[in-house]
Amino acid sequence: MSLISSISSSNINLLGTFISSYSSSSTLSLPSSFYLHQIQHRRCCCALKIGSPESYGPDLLRKPVVSPPSHGDNTVEDDTENLEGENNYERVAERESWVDWEDQILEDTVPLVGFVRMILHSGKYQSGDRLTAEHEKMILERLLPNHPECDNKIGCGVDYITIGLHPQFQDSRCMFIVRKDGELIDFSYWKCIKGFIRKNYPLYAESFILKHFRRRRRYE
- Counting the structural domains of the chain, the total is 1
The reply to whether 150 falls in a domain is yes
Backbone dihedral region for residue 123 (phi beyond 0: left; psi -120 to 50: alpha; all else: beta):
left
- Residue 194 within any structural domain of the chain: yes
Q: 106-164, pLDDT tens digit by residue?
A: 999 999 999 999 999 999 999 999 999 999 999 999 999 999 999 999 999 999 999 99
Range of the domain at 205: 101-212
- Secondary structure letter of residue 130 according to DSSP: B
Please indicate, yes or no, if residue 27 is contained in any of the structural domains.
Answer: no
Q: Give pTM, 2 decimals.
A: 0.54
For residue 61, which phi and psi values (nearest 5 degrees)?
A: -95, 0
The pLDDT assigned to 212 comes to 87
Q: Can you tell me the distance from the alpha carbon of 133 to that of 192, in angstroms, rounded to the nearest whole number?
A: 20
Residue 122 lies inside a defined structural domain of this protein: yes
The residue-averaged pLDDT of 89-111 equals: 75
**Is 195 contained in some domain?**
yes
* pLDDT reported for residue 183: 94
Q: Tell me what pLDDT residue 108 has.
A: 94
- How many Å apart are CA 29 and CA 188, to the nearest integer? 135
Return the pLDDT at 55: 43
Q: pLDDT (tens digit, 9 = 90+) per residue, 177-195?
A: 999 999 999 999 999 999 9
Alpha helices in the chain, H assignment, sequence order: 2-50, 75-97, 101-121, 133-138, 150-154, 189-200, 205-212
CATH number, position 177: 3.10.450.40
Task: Please report the pLDDT score of residue 153 as a whole number.
Answer: 95
Provide the pLDDT for residue 39: 46
152 within a domain of the structure (yes/no): yes
Give the per-residue pLDDT at 188.
Answer: 93
Which of 36-45, 86-95, 143-152 has the largest mean confidence? 143-152
Q: Identify whether 60 is part of a domain.
A: no
Inside any domain, residue 67: no
The CA distance from 123 to 95, in Å, is: 44
